[in-house]
Amino acid sequence: MKRRQFLAALPAAALAASGCVDQRSHSHAVYMLVDTSGTYAQEAGKAQVIINYLLGSLQPGDSLAVARVQSRSFSEKDIVAKATFDSRPSQENAQKRAFRERIENSFRAVSGSRYTDITGGLIQGAEFLNETGAGSKTIIIFSDMQEELDKVTQRDFPISLKGVRVVAVNVVKLKTDNIDPRKYMGRLEAWQKRVETAGAREWRVINNLDRLDAILARG
């Protein structure tokens, strides 16, 4: 197979030798945080729809990781599934099928966590995305954006999300938000400020799941 690849890549290699090849990475890496705390665990079905959309949209060479937001989310153990899709389309399709099966199995019995550590998940996601070396990096937060930490967990320090797009999806309104909508607005504004201070390239909120194409808008 390697020999075949080499033979086919000879013309491209000639171009690369002449300095024509674009050395920048054109791959896309996506890290999706799925909130499974409290009542939001019921929304797991919608999360699967988004993951399926991502599987259908990501190209060969792109990376995708799906992680749960738990009481403490800065851990690799929270990553449910991750894959860097093969550059060969046939292998890529097989990988996507396997990924979907893994996700289905994981979300079959979702147990809600007591606390919601979104910041930990963001730090973990940024770490994963930077490791992929992708040209375009996106963190999708499938959550109500209500962070709840235990007393021991420390998250009130500056984080780095340099060059990362952060997209909050399906940010449902809580009962308290319905009473005072300013809480909802304030919560989103606070997250926007935090994300932008961390150096994120973009902050976006998508509540209409029919407009998922905006998730992967490549800059």
Partner 1 sequence: MSSQAWMIWPDNFAVSFLVVAVLAMAFMYAARTPMHGLLRSVGHAVGGPLRMGARWLLAAAAEVQARNKAVLLAHGKHEVGQRVEREFERLGVIVQRELQGYPALQRKLLDEITRIEEDYKKCGEVPPPPPEWTEAVAAVANVKTGGNELVLRVLEEIKRSITSIHDKTLADYRRSYERRHKILESFMPFWRSVDKNLVQVEQNMARLQANVRTVDAHMAIYEQINEGTDKAQHALTVSGFTQFATSLLVMCVAAGGAFINFKLIALPMSEMVGAGDYITQSLRTSEVAALVIIFVEASMGLFLLEALRITHLFPRIANLNDRLRTRMLWIALTLLVILAGVEAALALMRDMLISDKQALLQSLSTVQPQAHDGWMSSIPTAGQMLLGFILPFALAFIAIPLESVIHSGRTVGGVFVLALLRSLAFLLRVLGSLARQMSRVLIKLYDVFIVVPLMAERLWKGSRSERSSKLDVDVDLERTHA
Residues of this chain that interact with partner 1 (CB under 8 A) are 4-5, 8-9, 11-12, 15, 20-22, 24, 26-27, 52-53, 55-56, 59-61, 87-90, 92-93, 96-97, 100
Q: How far is the CB of 93 from partner 1 (least distance, A)?
A: 5
Closest approach of partner 1 to the CB of residue 8, in Å? 4
Residue 35 or 62: the one with the smaller Cβ distance to partner 1 is 62
Residue 27 vs 170, nearer CB to partner 1: 27
Between the alpha carbon of residue 162 and those of residues 41, 137, 143, 149, 217, the distances in Å are: 29, 10, 21, 24, 17
CB of 13 or CB of 185, closer to partner 1:
13
Find the shortest distance in angstroms from Cβ 56 to partner 1: 5
Instruction: Tell how strand 136-142 and strand 28-35 pair up.
Output: parallel
Contact indicator for 126, 63 with CB cutoff of 8 Å: no
When the beta carbons of 26 and 114 are compared against partner 1, the nearer one is 26
Q: Least Å distance between CB 138 and partner 1?
A: 17
CB 3, min distance to partner 1, A = 11
**Nearer of residues 88 and 204 to partner 1, judged by Cβ:** 88
Using the minimum distance from each CB to partner 1, give the nearer residue, 4 or 151.
4
* Rounded-to-integer distance, Cα 172 and Cα 209, Å: 12
Q: Is 150 exposed, middle or buried (0-12, 13-18, 19+ CB in 10 A)?
A: exposed
The set of long-range contacts for 202-207, using a CB threshold of 8 Å and a minimum separation of 24, is 202/165, 202/166, 202/167, 203/166, 203/168, 204/165, 204/166, 204/167, 204/168, 205/167, 205/168, 205/169, 205/171, 206/167, 206/168, 206/169, 206/170, 207/169, 207/170, 207/171
- Bridge partners for 66 per DSSP: 32, 81
Residue 214 Cβ vs partner 1, minimum distance, rounded to whole Å: 18
